[in-house]
Amino acid sequence: VWALKETHKRWKHALEIVAQGLNRSMCDGRFRRIHGRPCLHELMAIIDSEGSQKLEPSHFDLHWWPPSAKHTAQARILEPVPRRRRQKSLTNSVPHRAGYGVSSTRRDPSGFEIIEDH
> What's the confidence (pLDDT) of residue 81?
72
pLDDT one-digit tens code per residue, 45-93:
898 888 888 888 888 888 888 777 555 545 555 667 777 777 666 555 5
> What's the confidence (pLDDT) of residue 73?
43
> What's the confidence (pLDDT) of residue 106?
79
Cα-to-chain-centroid distance, residue 37: 19
Domain ranges of the chain: 2-67
Portion of the chain with pLDDT greater than 70, in percent = 73
> What's the confidence (pLDDT) of residue 12?
92
Question: Please, which residues have CB within 8 angstroms of residue 16's CB and are 6 or more apart in sequence?
Answer: 22
Alpha carbons within 13 A on the beta-carbon side of 64:
19
